Amino acid sequence: DTEVTQTPKHLVMGMTNKKSLKCEQHMGHRAMYWYKQKAKKPPELMFVYSYEKLSINESVPSRFSPECPNSSLLNLHLHALQPEDSALYLCASEQGEEAFFGQGTRLTVV
Amino acid sequence: KQEVTQIPAALSVPEGENLVLNCSFTDSAIYNLQWFRQDPGKGLTSLLLIQSSQREQTSGRLNASLDKSSGRSTLYIAASQPGDSATYLCAVKPFQKLVFGTGTRLLVSP
**Mean pLDDT throughout B77-102?**
94
Is A66 at the interface with chain B, CB within 8 A? no
State how far the Cα of B103 lies from the Cα of B97, in Å rounded to an integer.
Answer: 18
What pLDDT, on a 0 to 100 scale, did the predictor assign at position B70? 94
Instruction: Share the mean pLDDT of chain B.
Output: 95
Residue B31: per-residue pLDDT: 87
The list of chain A residues with pLDDT below 70 reads: 1-2
User: Looking at beta carbons, which residues of chain A come within 8 Å of B46?
Assistant: 2, 98-101
Contacts of B35 in chain A (CB under 8 A): none
Q: What is the pLDDT of residue B32?
A: 92
Spell A17-35 as b/e; 16+ CB within 10 A means b: eebebbbbbeeebebbbbb
pLDDT tens digits, B42-76:
999 999 999 989 999 999 999 999 999 999 999 99
Give the pLDDT of residue A1: 61
Rounded to the nearest angstrom, the minimum Cα separation between B108 and chain A is: 19
